[in-house]
Amino acid sequence: MSLHQLLSRASQAVPRRIALQHEGKDVTWEDFRSRVARRASQMSIFGERGDRIAILSANVPEYLEALFAVPWAGMVMVPLNTRLSLEELKAILEHCQCRHLYYDERNSERGEQLARAIEGLSASRLIPISGWGEERDDLNSENELPFIPCAPYSPAAIFCTGGTTGRPKGVEHSHVALLMQALIAKDLRLDENTVYLHTVPLFHLAGFVAAICATAVNGRHKFLPESSPAAVLDKIEHEGVNVVNLVPTMIAGLLDVAKTRTGALRRLKTILYGASPIAEPLLLRLLHDAPGVGLVQIYGQTEVGACTVLPASYHTLEGSCAGKLGSAGRPLAAFLVRVADDNGLALPNGEAGEVQICGPGIMSSYWEEPELTRSTIQNGWLRTGDLGVLDDDGFLTIVGRLKDMIITGGENVFAGEVESALMYHEAVGSAAVFGVPDPKWGEAVHAAVVLKPGYSVTAAELITHCRDRIAHYKCPRSIAIRDTPLPLSGVGKVRKVDLLSEWKEQNKQ
């Protein structure tokens, strides 16, 4: 049981249908399966079954080829965040004991540097789609590797966490866990007519899950190596893209650019969104600016993949499905979700606690970190570190992170609630709220804010604005208005650990 099954099924069912399109070149499912089998044959030269193979690449077809080839060869894929520094990449490669590194043209220099820096690591460049079948293609002389089934619960991949609260951790997923994600394709409104654009990085599990689902329905893959709002709209308008996967920061930019391109968004069938909380004003704007487009919110994390979905039918302000907007939806079929207290006991509906997930799709372990694994998975339940509330209909609402909960003067403040209040101000483009040390209150609520271009507002005015929307004890006691964007991880999550470090540096006694 492995990803091989999805690919082989597509090549048998629709062998001559277009699977991949990029830079004017089409690749059928039959030809793509053959390339993957030949790439797997090449990989078998670099190591044995169970060895780790790393991939450092932008969102390009050759990346998808490598992602399917690694499990075909019985090896373990380690997708690398292209935004990390050379030292961070080196640490991950050494920690995972990778045998080989594949890289694309954009990452050639760093790929070669890493191979020289790490003893026992070999490396090679993936041939871009423009060279597939040409004289320079390194797979021309390769035979297809016969597929040998893997043990269902053996390691298939090690995805690295975003590192938003510290150093990245290696999250090990089994073949079963990854295949579980293919079951959600229909929940995401994907079908054989899907033309999916890879905007979320494939090194992130959210991007990889969407790739699995598009393959499961025999959809068409399109690629965007360097994502920008204008480039996304170009793909929608001129290349028939009808499904995109976006994080909130990308949505805001897309809506701004779409103002000058009337009707562009209406060509879409579905917008998938998730990876980080979305502010209510932005969600309402999306509903207004993209009428007729199905919106689907996905909740999950690297340790569990996608585990709840808010379907398009609940993205409404009217009718029987109204009232759920802003929630993360209900659990998917392969998962159980509960909200628990500090002792791991389930809380009644309506009470906030830690979101915990159970099911075959959760991670197997943190790579070579047994103590951390034991503290994270307890009695089969994965502790997400997210704070949430379940309602009587089984809908989950995320209210923050455990580490984002600020205890000020004995009162609990959820950072997400304060961020939402700030985002209602017309001048605020983005905001991050976190606790800072305070001699009187223990912790004080602090906000880092980036204003929209052309707007001006003071910290005092923003604090007054918050007092009109939330309890006074929840309001920021200090606000830093930044000239630079908030620091983000590879998937658009704010790195609050960096913001706290900046605050401490600026407030040394």
Q: How far apart are CA 255 and CA 245, in angstroms?
A: 14
In a domain, 473, yes or no: yes
Other C-beta atoms lying within 10 Å of the C-beta of residue 439: 6
Contacts of 112 (CB under 8 A, 6+ apart): 123
Core vs surface per residue 442-473: b (16+ CB within 10 A) or e? ebbbbbbbbbeeeeebeeeebbebbeeeeeee
Instruction: State pLDDT tens for residues 87-104.
Output: 889 999 999 999 999 999
Instruction: State both tokens at 346.
Output: 């389930």
How confident is the model at residue 349, as a pLDDT?
A: 96
Residue at 452 is within a domain? yes
In a domain, 197, yes or no: no
**Using one digit for the tens of pLDDT, what is the confidence trace for 267-320?**
999 999 987 667 788 889 999 998 889 999 999 999 999 999 999 999 999 899
For residue 472, what is the domain's CATH number?
A: 3.30.300.30
Phi-psi region of 350 (alpha: psi -120 to 50; beta: other; left: phi over 0): left
Claim to verify: residue 424 and residue 464 sit in the same structural domain: yes
- Please check whether residues 382 and 439 belong to one and the same domain: no
What is the DSSP track for 77-141?
EEE--TTS-HHHHHHHHHHTTEEEEEE-GGGHHHHHHHHHHSTT-EEEEPPPGGGTTSTT-TTTT
pLDDT, tens digit, for every residue of 214-237?
999 999 999 999 888 999 999 999
Instruction: Specify if 463 maps to a domain.
Output: yes
Burial level of 354, CB count in 10 A (0-12/13-18/19+)? buried
- Going by pLDDT thresholds of 50, 70 and 90, the confidence category of residue 489 is confident
Q: How many domains does the chain have?
A: 2
- Angle (nearest 5°) at CA 118 between 114 and 124: 50
Element (H, E) at 179: helix 175-182
* Angle, helices 29-46/61-72, rounded to nearest 10 degrees: 60
Do both 462 and 488 map to the same domain? yes
182 lies in some domain: no
With helix as H, strand as E and coil as C, how does 407-468 read? EECCEEEEHHHHHHHHHCCCCEEEEEEEEEEECCCEEEEEEEEEECCCCCCCHHHHHHHHHC
Distance CA 430, CA 7 (A): 40
Closest CA to 313 of 349, 267, 270: 270
Answer whether residue 470 shows pLDDT above 60.
yes
Q: What would the mean pLDDT of 42-59 be, rounded to a whole number? A: 94
User: Which H helix or E strand runs over 357?
Assistant: strand 353-358
* Residue where a domain terminates, one of 382, 402, 422: 402
pLDDT digits (tens, 9 = 90+) for 4-14: 889 999 999 99
- The pLDDT score that the predictor gives to residue 28 is 98
Whole-angstrom Cα distance, residue 173 to residue 373?
13
Say if residue 381 is in the same domain as residue 438.
Answer: no
Tell me, yes or no, whether 343 and 376 share the same domain. Answer: yes
* 261 half-sphere exposure, CB direction, 13 A CA radius: 20
Q: Are strands 405-408 and 396-401 parallel, antiparallel or unpaired?
A: unpaired
Quote the domain boundaries for residue 462.
Answer: 409-506
Residues 415 and 500 in one domain: yes
Last residue of a domain, one of 373, 402, 431: 402
- 241 in a structural domain: no
d(CA 322, CA 66): 43
Residue 509 pLDDT > 60 = no
In a domain, 481, yes or no: yes
Q: Higher-confidence residue: 40 or 497? A: 40
Query: Residue 260's pLDDT band (boundaries 50, 70, 90)?
Result: confident
Domain boundary among 402, 431, 455: 402
Please state the rounded mean pLDDT for residues 369-398.
Answer: 95
Q: Which residue, among 364, 362, 3, has the nearest Cα to 182 in the 3D structure?
A: 3
pLDDT of residue 491: 63
Identify whether residues 423 and 446 lie together within a single domain. Answer: yes
Taking alpha carbons only, the member of 214, 280, 311, 231 closest to residue 416 is: 280
pTM: 0.84
State how far the Cα of 179 lies from the Cα of 305, in Å rounded to an integer.
Answer: 11
Burial of 438 (0-12, 13-18, 19+ CB in 10 A): middle
Residue 165 has pLDDT above 70, yes or no: no
Radius of gyration of the chain (CA): 23
- CATH number of the domain bearing residue 387: 2.30.38.10
Query: Is 486 part of a structural domain of the chain?
Result: yes
Mean pLDDT of the chain, nearest integer: 91
